[in-house]
A and B are shown apart, each in its own frame.
Chain A
Amino acid sequence: MLVARFLRFWWTFIVGDDWRVALGIAVALGLSAVFVKAGVPAWWLVPLGAVLLLADSLRRATRAT
Protein backbone atom coordinates (compact mmCIF):
# COMPACT_ATOMS: atom_id res chain seq x y z
CA MET A 1 0.00 0.00 0.00
CA LEU A 2 2.78 2.37 1.01
CA VAL A 3 4.82 1.33 -2.04
CA ALA A 4 1.82 1.93 -4.31
CA ARG A 5 1.34 5.43 -2.84
CA PHE A 6 5.04 6.14 -3.21
CA LEU A 7 5.01 5.03 -6.87
CA ARG A 8 1.80 6.98 -7.56
CA PHE A 9 3.38 10.13 -6.10
CA TRP A 10 6.43 9.87 -8.39
CA TRP A 11 4.27 8.99 -11.41
CA THR A 12 2.15 12.13 -10.84
CA PHE A 13 5.23 14.22 -10.05
CA ILE A 14 7.13 13.30 -13.22
CA VAL A 15 4.56 12.13 -15.77
CA GLY A 16 1.67 14.39 -14.73
CA ASP A 17 -1.72 14.54 -16.45
CA ASP A 18 -0.74 13.12 -19.82
CA TRP A 19 1.45 9.99 -20.03
CA ARG A 20 1.54 10.26 -23.82
CA VAL A 21 3.73 13.37 -23.50
CA ALA A 22 6.28 11.44 -21.41
CA LEU A 23 6.22 8.57 -23.91
CA GLY A 24 6.59 11.05 -26.79
CA ILE A 25 9.65 12.63 -25.14
CA ALA A 26 11.29 9.19 -24.87
CA VAL A 27 10.50 8.48 -28.54
CA ALA A 28 11.84 11.90 -29.70
CA LEU A 29 15.09 11.45 -27.76
CA GLY A 30 15.42 7.88 -29.04
CA LEU A 31 14.93 9.02 -32.65
CA SER A 32 17.45 11.82 -32.10
CA ALA A 33 20.06 9.26 -30.96
CA VAL A 34 19.32 7.06 -34.02
CA PHE A 35 19.70 10.06 -36.38
CA VAL A 36 22.99 11.09 -34.75
CA LYS A 37 24.31 7.52 -35.06
CA ALA A 38 23.34 7.53 -38.77
CA GLY A 39 25.20 10.83 -39.28
CA VAL A 40 22.01 12.82 -39.97
CA PRO A 41 21.82 16.31 -38.35
CA ALA A 42 19.16 15.97 -35.64
CA TRP A 43 19.24 19.28 -33.71
CA TRP A 44 15.78 20.23 -35.04
CA LEU A 45 14.07 17.02 -33.93
CA VAL A 46 13.66 17.49 -30.15
CA PRO A 47 12.38 21.12 -30.21
CA LEU A 48 9.93 20.30 -33.00
CA GLY A 49 8.87 17.13 -31.18
CA ALA A 50 8.31 19.09 -27.94
CA VAL A 51 5.98 21.59 -29.63
CA LEU A 52 4.06 18.88 -31.50
CA LEU A 53 3.63 16.87 -28.28
CA LEU A 54 2.37 19.98 -26.47
CA ALA A 55 -0.08 20.81 -29.26
CA ASP A 56 -1.40 17.25 -29.35
CA SER A 57 -1.80 17.11 -25.57
CA LEU A 58 -3.72 20.42 -25.57
CA ARG A 59 -5.91 19.23 -28.45
CA ARG A 60 -6.90 16.15 -26.45
CA ALA A 61 -7.39 18.13 -23.23
CA THR A 62 -9.71 20.66 -24.87
CA ARG A 63 -11.60 18.22 -27.09
CA ALA A 64 -13.60 16.96 -24.11
CA THR A 65 -14.77 20.47 -23.11
Chain B
Amino acid sequence: MTSALLFISTFLASGVEFVEALTIVLALGITRGWRSPLVGTAAAALTLGVIVAALGPALTLVPIDVLRLVVGALLLAFGLQWLRKAILRSSGYTALHDEEEAFRLETEQARQAGAGRRAGLDWYAFTLAFKGVLLEGLEVAFIVVTFGSSERNIPLAALAGVSALLLVVLAGVALRAPLARVPENTIKFSVGVLLTTFGTFWGAEGTGVSWPGDELALPAIVAFIALSSLALVKLLERRRVRIPAEAHA
Protein backbone atom coordinates (compact mmCIF):
# COMPACT_ATOMS: atom_id res chain seq x y z
CA MET B 1 0.00 0.00 0.00
CA THR B 2 2.82 2.41 0.85
CA SER B 3 4.35 1.65 -2.55
CA ALA B 4 1.07 2.44 -4.33
CA LEU B 5 0.66 5.73 -2.43
CA LEU B 6 4.32 6.55 -3.06
CA PHE B 7 3.86 5.98 -6.81
CA ILE B 8 0.63 8.03 -6.97
CA SER B 9 2.11 10.93 -4.95
CA THR B 10 5.28 11.13 -7.01
CA PHE B 11 3.39 10.72 -10.30
CA LEU B 12 0.88 13.50 -9.52
CA ALA B 13 3.46 15.91 -8.08
CA SER B 14 5.77 15.33 -11.05
CA GLY B 15 2.90 15.70 -13.53
CA VAL B 16 1.87 19.13 -12.21
CA GLU B 17 5.44 20.43 -12.29
CA PHE B 18 6.06 19.05 -15.80
CA VAL B 19 2.85 20.70 -17.11
CA GLU B 20 4.27 24.07 -16.00
CA ALA B 21 7.66 23.30 -17.56
CA LEU B 22 5.93 22.21 -20.79
CA THR B 23 4.16 25.59 -21.04
CA ILE B 24 7.54 27.38 -21.00
CA VAL B 25 9.18 25.03 -23.54
CA LEU B 26 6.15 25.15 -25.88
CA ALA B 27 6.02 28.95 -25.81
CA LEU B 28 9.73 29.13 -26.67
CA GLY B 29 9.60 26.41 -29.34
CA ILE B 30 6.65 27.93 -31.17
CA THR B 31 8.03 31.48 -31.18
CA ARG B 32 11.80 30.95 -31.51
CA GLY B 33 12.27 27.48 -33.04
CA TRP B 34 12.64 24.13 -31.31
CA ARG B 35 16.38 23.39 -31.28
CA SER B 36 17.58 25.69 -28.48
CA PRO B 37 14.67 25.10 -26.05
CA LEU B 38 15.00 21.33 -26.57
CA VAL B 39 18.77 21.47 -25.92
CA GLY B 40 18.02 23.55 -22.78
CA THR B 41 15.42 20.99 -21.68
CA ALA B 42 17.81 18.09 -22.24
CA ALA B 43 20.57 19.87 -20.28
CA ALA B 44 18.17 20.50 -17.37
CA ALA B 45 16.92 16.89 -17.45
CA LEU B 46 20.53 15.68 -17.36
CA THR B 47 21.28 17.95 -14.37
CA LEU B 48 18.21 16.63 -12.54
CA GLY B 49 19.23 13.05 -13.34
CA VAL B 50 22.68 13.70 -11.85
CA ILE B 51 21.08 15.19 -8.68
CA VAL B 52 18.83 12.12 -8.23
CA ALA B 53 21.67 9.68 -9.05
CA ALA B 54 24.07 11.40 -6.62
CA LEU B 55 21.71 12.12 -3.72
CA GLY B 56 19.63 8.93 -3.87
CA PRO B 57 22.31 6.36 -3.03
CA ALA B 58 23.98 8.80 -0.58
CA LEU B 59 20.74 9.11 1.42
CA THR B 60 20.37 5.33 1.72
CA LEU B 61 23.52 5.40 3.89
CA VAL B 62 21.80 7.62 6.51
CA PRO B 63 20.17 5.70 9.42
CA ILE B 64 16.48 5.20 8.61
CA ASP B 65 15.09 6.98 11.71
CA VAL B 66 17.21 10.08 11.14
CA LEU B 67 16.32 10.03 7.44
CA ARG B 68 12.59 9.72 8.15
CA LEU B 69 12.69 12.55 10.69
CA VAL B 70 14.45 14.94 8.28
CA VAL B 71 12.46 13.82 5.23
CA GLY B 72 9.22 13.90 7.24
CA ALA B 73 9.89 17.49 8.36
CA LEU B 74 10.72 18.56 4.78
CA LEU B 75 7.67 16.82 3.31
CA LEU B 76 5.45 18.42 5.96
CA ALA B 77 6.86 21.84 5.03
CA PHE B 78 6.29 21.10 1.33
CA GLY B 79 2.87 19.50 1.77
CA LEU B 80 1.52 22.33 3.92
CA GLN B 81 2.82 24.88 1.37
CA TRP B 82 0.99 23.08 -1.46
CA LEU B 83 -2.19 22.71 0.61
CA ARG B 84 -2.11 26.35 1.70
CA LYS B 85 -1.89 27.54 -1.92
CA ALA B 86 -4.54 25.07 -3.15
CA ILE B 87 -6.98 26.02 -0.35
CA LEU B 88 -6.50 29.76 -0.96
CA ARG B 89 -7.24 29.15 -4.66
CA SER B 90 -10.20 26.80 -4.06
CA SER B 91 -11.84 29.23 -1.65
CA GLY B 92 -11.42 32.14 -4.07
CA TYR B 93 -8.87 34.16 -2.06
CA THR B 94 -6.27 33.93 -4.83
CA ALA B 95 -6.77 33.43 -8.56
CA LEU B 96 -6.50 29.93 -10.06
CA HIS B 97 -3.32 29.33 -12.03
CA ASP B 98 -4.20 29.81 -15.70
CA GLU B 99 -1.93 27.78 -18.00
CA GLU B 100 -3.30 29.51 -21.15
CA GLU B 101 -2.56 32.96 -19.69
CA ALA B 102 0.93 31.81 -18.62
CA PHE B 103 1.49 30.53 -22.19
CA ARG B 104 0.30 33.83 -23.69
CA LEU B 105 2.69 35.84 -21.48
CA GLU B 106 5.64 33.52 -22.17
CA THR B 107 4.99 33.71 -25.92
CA GLU B 108 4.78 37.51 -25.86
CA GLN B 109 8.05 37.83 -23.90
CA ALA B 110 9.79 35.30 -26.17
CA ARG B 111 8.77 37.32 -29.29
CA GLN B 112 10.10 40.57 -27.83
CA ALA B 113 13.41 39.17 -26.55
CA GLY B 114 16.63 39.84 -28.48
CA ALA B 115 18.25 37.22 -30.71
CA GLY B 116 21.72 36.81 -29.14
CA ARG B 117 23.57 33.61 -30.10
CA ARG B 118 26.17 31.68 -28.09
CA ALA B 119 27.65 28.27 -28.82
CA GLY B 120 25.42 28.07 -31.89
CA LEU B 121 22.28 28.36 -29.77
CA ASP B 122 19.55 30.95 -29.35
CA TRP B 123 20.78 31.87 -25.86
CA TYR B 124 17.49 33.33 -24.62
CA ALA B 125 15.54 30.20 -25.56
CA PHE B 126 18.23 27.87 -24.21
CA THR B 127 18.63 29.56 -20.80
CA LEU B 128 14.90 30.09 -20.27
CA ALA B 129 14.09 26.45 -21.11
CA PHE B 130 17.00 25.26 -18.93
CA LYS B 131 15.99 27.42 -15.95
CA GLY B 132 12.27 26.62 -16.31
CA VAL B 133 12.72 22.86 -16.53
CA LEU B 134 15.41 22.81 -13.81
CA LEU B 135 13.37 24.85 -11.32
CA GLU B 136 10.11 22.96 -11.94
CA GLY B 137 12.01 19.67 -11.98
CA LEU B 138 13.93 20.36 -8.76
CA GLU B 139 10.77 19.79 -6.74
CA VAL B 140 10.22 16.53 -8.64
CA ALA B 141 13.83 15.45 -7.97
CA PHE B 142 13.40 16.34 -4.30
CA ILE B 143 10.21 14.28 -4.00
CA VAL B 144 11.71 11.32 -5.92
CA VAL B 145 14.82 11.31 -3.72
CA THR B 146 13.03 11.79 -0.37
CA PHE B 147 10.16 9.36 -1.05
CA GLY B 148 12.43 6.80 -2.64
CA SER B 149 15.08 6.88 0.09
CA SER B 150 12.55 6.82 2.97
CA GLU B 151 10.90 3.72 1.51
CA ARG B 152 14.25 2.33 0.32
CA ASN B 153 12.73 2.22 -3.19
CA ILE B 154 14.24 4.97 -5.35
CA PRO B 155 13.63 3.05 -8.63
CA LEU B 156 9.84 3.04 -8.02
CA ALA B 157 9.81 6.78 -7.21
CA ALA B 158 11.97 7.48 -10.28
CA LEU B 159 9.64 5.34 -12.44
CA ALA B 160 6.66 7.40 -11.25
CA GLY B 161 8.48 10.65 -12.13
CA VAL B 162 9.56 9.39 -15.56
CA SER B 163 6.02 8.07 -16.28
CA ALA B 164 4.57 11.50 -15.52
CA LEU B 165 7.21 13.13 -17.74
CA LEU B 166 6.40 10.79 -20.65
CA LEU B 167 2.66 11.36 -20.29
CA VAL B 168 3.04 15.16 -20.24
CA VAL B 169 5.51 15.16 -23.17
CA LEU B 170 3.24 12.89 -25.26
CA ALA B 171 0.22 15.08 -24.50
CA GLY B 172 2.25 18.20 -25.33
CA VAL B 173 3.49 16.75 -28.64
CA ALA B 174 -0.05 15.65 -29.57
CA LEU B 175 -1.71 18.96 -28.71
CA ARG B 176 1.11 21.46 -29.43
CA ALA B 177 -0.67 23.63 -26.86
CA PRO B 178 -0.48 24.17 -23.11
CA LEU B 179 -2.34 21.55 -21.08
CA ALA B 180 -4.94 24.03 -19.87
CA ARG B 181 -7.58 21.40 -19.14
CA VAL B 182 -5.52 19.63 -16.51
CA PRO B 183 -7.38 20.24 -13.20
CA GLU B 184 -4.22 21.70 -11.73
CA ASN B 185 -5.58 22.96 -8.43
CA THR B 186 -7.36 19.66 -7.67
CA ILE B 187 -4.12 17.78 -8.34
CA LYS B 188 -2.14 20.25 -6.21
CA PHE B 189 -4.68 19.81 -3.41
CA SER B 190 -4.35 15.99 -3.64
CA VAL B 191 -0.56 16.15 -3.75
CA GLY B 192 -0.59 18.52 -0.75
CA VAL B 193 -2.69 15.99 1.18
CA LEU B 194 -0.37 13.11 0.21
CA LEU B 195 2.87 14.99 0.98
CA THR B 196 1.48 16.12 4.34
CA THR B 197 0.38 12.54 5.08
CA PHE B 198 3.80 11.02 4.34
CA GLY B 199 5.52 13.90 6.16
CA THR B 200 3.32 13.27 9.21
CA PHE B 201 3.84 9.49 9.08
CA TRP B 202 7.62 9.49 8.59
CA GLY B 203 8.29 12.59 10.73
CA ALA B 204 6.44 11.08 13.72
CA GLU B 205 8.14 7.69 13.17
CA GLY B 206 11.48 9.48 13.15
CA THR B 207 10.73 10.84 16.64
CA GLY B 208 10.05 7.29 17.86
CA VAL B 209 6.24 7.16 17.47
CA SER B 210 4.66 3.75 16.82
CA TRP B 211 1.59 4.22 14.66
CA PRO B 212 -1.49 2.20 15.65
CA GLY B 213 -1.81 -0.44 12.90
CA ASP B 214 1.60 0.55 11.48
CA GLU B 215 1.17 1.28 7.72
CA LEU B 216 -2.60 0.90 8.05
CA ALA B 217 -2.53 4.31 9.74
CA LEU B 218 -1.71 5.91 6.36
CA PRO B 219 -5.30 5.88 4.93
CA ALA B 220 -6.58 7.27 8.24
CA ILE B 221 -4.05 10.14 8.08
CA VAL B 222 -4.97 10.79 4.41
CA ALA B 223 -8.66 10.99 5.40
CA PHE B 224 -7.96 13.25 8.39
CA ILE B 225 -5.81 15.71 6.42
CA ALA B 226 -8.16 15.68 3.38
CA LEU B 227 -11.35 16.20 5.41
CA SER B 228 -9.75 18.92 7.56
CA SER B 229 -8.51 20.70 4.42
CA LEU B 230 -11.93 20.49 2.75
CA ALA B 231 -13.50 21.89 5.94
CA LEU B 232 -11.00 24.79 5.80
CA VAL B 233 -11.99 25.48 2.15
CA LYS B 234 -15.68 25.61 3.18
CA LEU B 235 -14.93 27.85 6.17
CA LEU B 236 -12.92 30.29 4.05
CA GLU B 237 -15.56 30.31 1.30
CA ARG B 238 -18.25 31.19 3.82
CA ARG B 239 -16.04 33.89 5.37
CA ARG B 240 -15.24 35.40 1.96
CA VAL B 241 -18.95 35.69 1.15
CA ARG B 242 -19.85 37.03 4.61
CA ILE B 243 -17.22 39.76 4.89
CA PRO B 244 -18.26 41.78 1.79
CA ALA B 245 -21.92 41.38 2.80
CA GLU B 246 -21.16 42.81 6.25
CA ALA B 247 -19.09 45.61 4.73
CA HIS B 248 -22.08 46.71 2.63
CA ALA B 249 -24.56 46.48 5.53
Which residues of A are interface residues toward B (Cβ below 8 A)? Answer: 13-18, 21-22, 25-26, 29, 32-33, 36-37, 42-43, 45-47, 50-51, 53-55, 57-58, 61-62, 65
Report how far A22 CA is from B75 CA in the complex, Å.
Answer: 11
Scan B222-247; emit 1 where CB is below 8 A from any A CB, else 0: 00110011001000100110000000
State whether A62 touches B88 (Cβ < 8 A).
yes
B171 at the interface (CB under 8 A from A): no
> B20 to chain A: closest CB distance in Å?
15
Segment of B31-39, B46-54, B79-87, B151-159 in the binding face: B79-87
Which residues of B are interface residues toward A (Cβ below 8 A)? Answer: 69, 72-74, 76-81, 83-84, 87-88, 93, 138-139, 196, 199-200, 203-204, 206-212, 217, 221, 224-225, 228-229, 232, 236, 239-240
The residue in A21, A25, A65 that gathers the most chain B C-beta atoms within 10 A of its C-beta is A25
Report how far A46 CA is from B69 CA in the complex, Å.
Answer: 12
Closest residue of chain A to B75, judged by CB? A25
Given contacts A32-B204, A54-B83, 13 further A-B contacts (CB under 8 A): A15-B77, A16-B84, A21-B81, A21-B84, A29-B73, A32-B203, A32-B208, A42-B209, A43-B211, A47-B204, A47-B224, A51-B229, A61-B93
Report how far A62 CA is from B196 CA in the complex, Å.
Answer: 21
State whether B200 touches A54 (Cβ < 8 A).
no
Are A29 and B206 also in contact (CB < 8 A) when A51-B228, A54-B229, A58-B84 are? yes
Q: Which residues of A contact B225 (CB under 8 A)?
A: 47, 50-51
State whether B77 touches A16 (Cβ < 8 A).
yes
Q: Which residues of A contact B200 (CB under 8 A)?
A: 46-47, 50
State whether A17 touches B81 (Cβ < 8 A).
yes
State whether B207 touches A36 (Cβ < 8 A).
yes
The residue in B69, B200, B211, B236 that gathers the most chain A C-beta atoms within 10 A of its C-beta is B200
Q: List 22 A–B pairs whose Cβ atoms lie within 8 Å, in order of A's numbering.
A: A15-B77, A16-B77, A17-B84, A18-B84, A21-B77, A21-B80, A25-B76, A26-B73, A29-B72, A29-B204, A36-B208, A46-B200, A46-B203, A46-B209, A50-B225, A51-B225, A54-B83, A57-B84, A58-B88, A58-B236, A62-B93, A62-B236
Report how far A5 CA is from B87 CA in the complex, Å.
Answer: 29
